[in-house]
Structure 1
């Protein structure tokens, strides 16, 4: 009877360990990278040409914190990259060029985490291109208020006067 009781105790301990492992793994699979985009729409005011010989400035920049990103990368998932592309509306002119850059690190409570890249303007295309990376080391890498600045270039007198609109899309994914 005693050996049967020990067997049941060992089996019970084994079952508890398996349940604990399953709980930990389910947490790993549920943990996700998140990205939240905030800020405001950017409207570029292009002045009218009023005299011969004058031209548009050609390049315009938004506020250095036009877009504010918040990102989190769970420790068990390690590193992440934030990518960006643009979606043009049907009237977008192909001579116009949108670019984006990171102008700061934002804020984080994670001492050993890091954010890198993206401090030079990245020309936006219709497909994702990496803007910057986040590394989680020994903790959840949670950043808020990562400032992004936009740039519009290619403005010229040869582009018809119209309202042009585009959306900037950010994604976060594994490296």
Structure 2
């Protein structure tokens, strides 16, 4: 009577796990978010005394533009809950009294593939500035998908313009060059 070695059993188990991972990986595609725009250097005047020649809040004259794709495999997870575009900032040199904000304008969606009675809408973040936190994340906007899923469907979103604002500038903050990186992510709401 022959017995299989434990090594051979492990190889079979690994082979099945690899096959399962390949099947699942082929079905699930990653949602994407692309960012177009440039770095922003806020020009703050020299503040010599409180209340003289400064507003305390500065807007970025340029816009960041977000675009990307939500694949069908991700849409099946959403139902009508929506995808959440969230943001946070990761400081490299920062004063905690300074605050960053973002506001959305525009945005379009396009449903690709066969989909019956489908809609995709972008909402939120377009009325007031939303603070971009250092810890955790804040929602900039959501993309909601509804309809009967069909074949080969996915949603492209584009032209989501993001206006940035910095606030909290004060004579009490030491003069220095402060910098941070804003991170946008997209996932299930």
Q: TM-score range by the shorter chain?
A: 0.7 to 0.9
Mapped pair 1:102 → 2:135 = no
Corresponding residue number in structure 1 for 2:124: 117
Counterpart Cα distance in 1 of 2:51 and 2:169: 16
Moved more, 38-47 or 76-85: 76-85
Corresponding residue number in structure 2 for 1:68: 65
Number of residue pairs aligned between Structure 1 and Structure 2: 149
1:45-64 to 2 correspondence within 5 Å?
A: 45-49=43-47, 54-63=52-61
| Secondary structure of the structure 2 residue equivalent to 1:94 | coil
Counterpart Cα distance in 1 of 2:180 and 2:60: 14
Mapped pair 1:129 → 2:131 = no
Deviation of the 1:51 alpha carbon: 7.5
Counterpart Cα distance in 1 of 2:129 and 2:72: 29
RMSD in angstroms over aligned alpha carbons? 2.4
Counterpart Cα distance in 2 of 1:166 and 1:24: 40
Deviation of the 1:102 alpha carbon: 0.8
Deviation of the 1:94 alpha carbon: 1.0
Instruction: Summarize the Cα distance change of 1:148–1:53 in structure 2 as closer, same or farther, 3 Å threshold.
Output: closer
Counterpart Cα distance in 2 of 1:143 and 1:54: 44
Moved more, 36-45 or 118-127: 118-127
Give TM-score, length-normalised by structure 1: 0.75
Unaligned stretches of 5+ residues in structure 2:
1-21, 76-81, 112-117
Counterpart Cα distance in 2 of 1:113 and 1:171: 18
Mapped pair 1:77 → 2:91 = no
Counterpart Cα distance in 1 of 2:64 and 2:51: 35
The higher radius of gyration belongs to 1
Moved more, 145-154 or 73-82: 73-82
Corresponding residue number in structure 1 for 2:27: 28
Instruction: Summarize the Cα distance change of 1:54–1:114 in structure 2 as closer, same or farther, 3 Å threshold.
Output: same
